[in-house]
Amino acid sequence: MTNSHEQTVIDELHAVAPEFAALTQDLLFDDIWKRPGLSQRDKSLITVTCLVALNRIEHVEFHLKKAFDNGLTKEELVTAITHIAFYAGWPTAASAFRHLKTVIDQQ
């Protein structure tokens, strides 16, 4: 079962690409994210850092919210983004921090 934020994303996808929305819901959120081996928290940390490093910034806020829901703290996210700044680039990390501030301000 998805949370309301995930459901909003699924609903928005469904309006444009129903099959992709179904794959996102059924395969990504209901299968991949629930597989054992890593905690939801660890998966969130990995996902956020990958999205930041790949400059997929349009998806960062969604996953930052999910990261907080999965137990990550602001300090842990700041530390992770600061760390990858040296590998993924300073501007990329700066953009991520702007999005992190937005998410924190919305909470």
DSSP per-residue codes, 11-79 = HHHHHH-HHHHHHIIIIIITTGGG-TTS-HHHHHHHHHHHHHHTT-GGGHHHHHHHHHHTT--HHHHHH
pLDDT of amino acid 8: 85
Q: How far apart are CA 36 and CA 43, in angstroms?
A: 11
Q: What is the mean pLDDT of each run of 10 residues along the chain (107 residues)?
A: 76 93 92 95 97 94 96 98 96 96 95
What is the model's pLDDT at position 18?
93
**Cα–Cα dist 87/85, whole Å:** 5
Residue 61: what pLDDT? 94
Residue 2 is predicted with a pLDDT of: 58
Identify the pLDDT of residue 7.
84
Query: Is the Cβ–Cβ distance between 21 and 7 less than 8 Å?
Result: no
